[in-house]
Amino acid sequence: MTWFRSRLHFVPCLIAAAMALVAIANLPYGYYTLMRLVVCATAIFVVVVGAKSGQMWAVWLYGILALLFNPVVPVHLTKGLWQPLDIVTGAALVGAAIVVRRKPQPAST
């Protein structure tokens, strides 16, 4: 299994991490809604990859991030609380891109 095939979530994680880090700036509300959607969807993707590979720590960590950034029932915090959360989220998503990986599938005969 090639490196990229074991990390299908690599590019979405980097995009979501970049969006979370850019969210530190003062931007229009629409950006934050889009960022919530992208981060939530990416976190759910990492949860699925983590669950399939038996990495339960990833299921818990990124499941909590998915709940925190979900766009359906948004969590309302002050800008002062969101900024450090955005930095931690960006770092966690970069970490997921590097550390979380799919288990190799057994070769079928």
Q: For 6-48, what is each residue's pLDDT tens digit?
A: 566 688 889 999 999 999 999 999 999 999 999 999 999 999 9
| Number of domains composing the chain | 1
1, part of any domain = no
Whole-prediction pTM: 0.84
End-to-end CA distance of the chain: 16
67, part of any domain = yes
Confidence of residue 98 (pLDDT cuts 50, 70, 90): confident
53, part of any domain = yes
59, part of any domain = yes
The residue segments making up the domain with residue 55 are 10-99
15, part of any domain = yes
Confidence of residue 109 (pLDDT cuts 50, 70, 90): low
Averaged over 40-67, what is the pLDDT? 92
Q: What is the rounded distance in angstroms from the CA atom of residue 81 to the CA atom of residue 44?
A: 23
3, part of any domain = no
